[in-house]
Structure 1
Amino acid sequence: MKRLLTLVLCAAALPAYAGCPAPEQWARDFQKKHADFHWNAQRHDPALYTPAFDAALRKEWAYAKGEVGRLDYDPWLGAQDGDIAEPIAFEAESVQEDAAVVAMRYAFVLDPGTAPGKHAAHLVLKKEGAQCWRLDDFITPRGDSLMRLFAGDPEQPEAGPTGKASGAR
């Protein structure tokens, strides 16, 4: 009887997010359903983002006012033009109990008939409390952090990994 009680208590103590999808699956679903997350305030679902990233997105939308904001390229592509082509792979680069980084690796095609390049965008995920995975940052193929870019001072664009201001007007 004590063993049964111990098993029941252990099962009850499992985190509420035990039924969450694997980080790779969450990232795949997010990309498929919310690829326009960075500009489409009309379809915004705050449950998909950590409070800090949600606030950064809202700050960017307020700054952009429906126009091009601090990001002047598609963050999934790392470019203004081009397409994502197969194969597309979602790979967890690191996974902890409450944090994960998932790379979306894909073939990047700028012009039909040219050899595709290899690109990767990184989704930084977190679990907070009883929540499932939420997007906490998005790192573009250029290496720009949307959290840093969107949460920063609009008059002082953040420098990307090259030291140049990225996404500046």
Structure 2
Amino acid sequence: MAQSFYRLHYLFWDQAPQRLGDVVAAPLLALLRSEHACRDGGELCAIDADPWLGAQDGEAANPRFEAEGRDRVRVAYRFDLGEERSERSAQLLFVQERGCWRVADLISPGGGSLRRALAQFHRP
């Protein structure tokens, strides 16, 4: 599931939320809908950097996926930014909803929870 999500939905925060309903848990999906609506208004919203990288620039190369329990997968990769190269990792957290595993959160290399950041920004 983690590999498929990474490969098919790497830019999930830029995708229309209706495309994510089968792979993202309801609480995170609701927050992504709020983020999408905010961005459609031309605003700078909660997500200001690539959550996988914890950075605005650079790219992930050679991802490796390692289960860290029943509901957590570490995605380790080589971070490339020009001449800078280092090893980083993010974590995907999963929950079971209606009998299927879905992404519940993404923890950045710096330890920040995407779901928490979205909830704080889009708090009613």
- TM-score by length of structure 1 reads 0.66
Question: Within the alignment, does 1:34 sit opposite 2:12 as a pair?
Answer: no
In the alignment, the residues of structure 1 paired with residue 17 and residue 31 of structure 2 have an alpha-carbon distance, to the nearest angstrom, of 16
Name the residue aligned to 1:90. 65
Q: Which has the higher strand share?
A: 2
Name the residue aligned to 2:97. 128
Name the residue aligned to 1:152. 120
Q: What is the deviation of 1:93?
A: 1.0
The amino acid of 2:40's aligned partner reads: K
The unaligned stretches of length 5 or more in structure 1 are 1-25, 156-169
Give the 3-state SS of the residue equivalent to 1:150 in structure 2. Answer: helix
- TM-score by length of structure 2 reads 0.87
The amino acid of 1:59's aligned partner reads: S
Distance 1:65 1:104, change over 3 A: same
Q: What is the deviation of 1:32?
A: 0.3
In the alignment, the residues of structure 2 paired with residue 84 and residue 51 of structure 1 have an alpha-carbon distance, to the nearest angstrom, of 27
Question: Within the alignment, does 1:140 sit opposite 2:111 as a pair?
Answer: no
Give the 3-state SS of the residue equivalent to 2:52 in structure 1. Answer: coil
Question: Quick check: 1:46–1:54 contact (8 Å CA) kept in 2?
Answer: yes
In the alignment, the residues of structure 2 paired with residue 52 and residue 109 of structure 1 have an alpha-carbon distance, to the nearest angstrom, of 32
RMSD across aligned positions (CA): 1.9
Name the residue aligned to 1:23. none
Question: Within the alignment, does 1:44 sit opposite 2:12 as a pair?
Answer: no
The amino acid of 2:2's aligned partner reads: A
Name the residue aligned to 1:108. 79
Name the residue aligned to 1:81. 57
Distance 1:139 1:33, change over 3 A: same
Distance 1:115 1:60, change over 3 A: closer
Runs of 4+ with deviation above 6 angstroms: none
Give the 3-state SS of the residue equivalent to 1:48 in structure 2. Answer: coil
Percent identity, aligned pairs only, is 36
Name the residue aligned to 1:159. none
The unaligned stretches of length 5 or more in structure 2 are none
Name the residue aligned to 1:17. none
In the alignment, the residues of structure 2 paired with residue 101 and residue 119 of structure 1 have an alpha-carbon distance, to the nearest angstrom, of 16
Matched positions, count: 122
Q: What is the deviation of 1:128?
A: 2.4
Name the residue aligned to 1:7. none
Larger Rg: 1
Name the residue aligned to 1:62. 37
